[in-house]
Structure 1
Amino acid sequence: MALAPAVLGLEFAARAARDEHIRAALTAMRRAQREATAPSIAEVTERTGVSPTIGRRKSADHPR
């Protein structure tokens, strides 16, 4: 049975909380992913005028 990506992410997070080596590896991977995707996200934002809503706080004028 395959695990859903969210479940797998939680498993990695739980292991990283307990294991310094896993935490260091996952931190490096997340940084590399952010660095690799940042230019693409910036380009799409510039072309479309739309930016990602993930991680933004909910506000009265921008309900989710």
Structure 2
Amino acid sequence: MPAASETVEAWSELLQDKIRIIDARMAQLAALHADLDARARTACPLRPVGQAAEPPANPATG
């Protein structure tokens, strides 16, 4: 059976790992938020930011 100090250290390490995972996920969500915010401010939110819009087709030239 592990000593109490070993158990505390194992739990501490586990919690530190979970914090690192949460921090990484928060950074991913912040990047997603920034991208969605930028897209919401464009004429076509489905087009990647910075990509020029294609001119509309001219029905007369067909």
* TM-score, normalised relative to structure 2: 0.40
TM-score (norm 1): 0.39
Structure having greater relative contact order (Cα 8 Å, sep ≥ 6): 2
Larger fraction in helix? 1
Structure label with greater radius of gyration: 2
